[in-house]
Amino acid sequence: MDTFKIDDVAKESGLTKRTIRYYEEIGVLFPPERSEGGMRLYTRKHIERLSQIVNARDVLGFSLMEIQDFVAIREKMDEQKQVYWKTEAAEEKLSQLREMKVMVDKQMEMVDQKLSKMAEFRKEIEYMQKRINDGITKMST
């Protein structure tokens, strides 16, 4: 039994059920299978994906719309795996790979930009720490 009901997923991910359904609704979480009665049956993959989404949202500060692109690439990666090596499909596969390369390269650029800006920020804070510490030692003598 490797499927989860929405409440289990909510507990593991720390998100609310509403949020999980919402992420499916706007297309950042791929839809799970359904039970006979219509209940969502999630897999480990869904939980992993949610974790990635939360990271992108909270850490990188991406909006859910920006995360769409991000997610689309992961989707294509998985898709690529499924495609058998057929000579007829080779051409199409190659063009898809090139397309993905462009997107991933762009993402890398964004992340590197954020990283360098963050480093600047860190330096500023470090400087403030230094000034405060100097002030404290100087005064408490």
Partner DNA sequence: TTTAACGTTAACGTCAACGTTAACTTTTAA
Partner DNA sequence: TTAAAAGTTAACGTTGACGTTAACGTTAAA
Binding site for a copy of itself (CB under 8 A): 55-56, 58-62, 73, 77, 80, 90, 93-94, 97-98, 100-101, 104-105, 107-108, 111-112, 114-115, 117-122, 125-126, 128-129, 131-133, 135-136, 139-140
Stretch near DNA under the rule CB under 7 A, chosen from 36-44, 91-99, 106-114, 129-137: 36-44
With a CB cutoff of 8 Å and minimum separation 6, the contacts of 62 are 56, 70
Q: 15 and 29 in contact (C-beta within 8 Å)?
A: no
Token output for 110: 């964004």
Report the residue from 2, 36, 91, 124 that binds DNA according to the rule CB under 7 A. Answer: 36
Q: At what angle do helices 87-139 and 64-82 cross, to 10 degrees?
A: 140
Q: Which is nearer to DNA, 8 or 109 (CB)?
A: 8
Q: Which of 108, 19, 16, 118 is nearest to 69 (CA)?
A: 108
Kindly list the residues in this chain that would bind DNA in the complex (CB under 7 A): 5-8, 16-19, 21-22, 26, 35-40, 57, 63-65
